[in-house]
Structure 1
Amino acid sequence: MDKDNRFALLVIGLPFLGLIYCLGIILIFILSPFAQNHAFITGILAAMIPFSIAASIWIRASAKAYDRNK
């Protein structure tokens, strides 16, 4: 996959992935009594999942760039 295709996938695919994730969280809140009764815990978990994925990608990319500069 070349850089242009990867960038297009990022620009087009990432918003759709976010939309699907948000719809999934909404469905969890509608269907799950636990999520309704413990909205704060569910909300924190829903926010931490994308943050953790983004942080791990960022750290991995930074480590790769640091190894190239050595």
Structure 2
Amino acid sequence: MNSDKKFAFLVLGLPLIGLIYCGLGVVAMTSSSTVREHPLISGAIFILLPFSIAAYTWISASAKAYKK
């Protein structure tokens, strides 16, 4: 993947993926009684999932940079 495609994904793809993720969260909150009954647990999962993906990506990139 060249740098232009990476930049296009960063500028266009990530915000769209974020909107879809937020939409899925709203749909889960409105349709599932379990999510409404346990807001702290479902909110923590909703927040920690993208945070853990970002942390893994950051740490992987740092490890590659330190290897060189």
TM-score range, shorter chain: over 0.9
Structure 1 letter corresponding to 2:50: P
Quote the residue 1:6 is aligned against: 6
CA shift digits 1:5-32 (9 cap, x unpaired): 1111111000000000000000000111
Greater than 6 Å deviation, 4+ residue runs: none
TM-score normalised per structure 1:
0.94
> Distance between the aligned counterparts of 1:43 and 1:23, measured in 2?
14
Unpaired segments of 5 or more residues in structure 1?
none
Quote the residue 1:32 is aligned against: 32
Identity %: 47
> Distance between the aligned counterparts of 1:53 and 1:11, measured in 2?
18
> Distance between the aligned counterparts of 2:15 and 2:9, measured in 1?
10
TM-score normalised per structure 2:
0.97
Does 1:48 find its partner at 2:42?
Answer: no
How well do the aligned residues superpose, as a CA RMSD in angstroms? 0.5
How far did 1:4 drift?
A: 1.2
For these two proteins, the number of residue pairs brought into alignment is 68
Unpaired segments of 5 or more residues in structure 2?
none
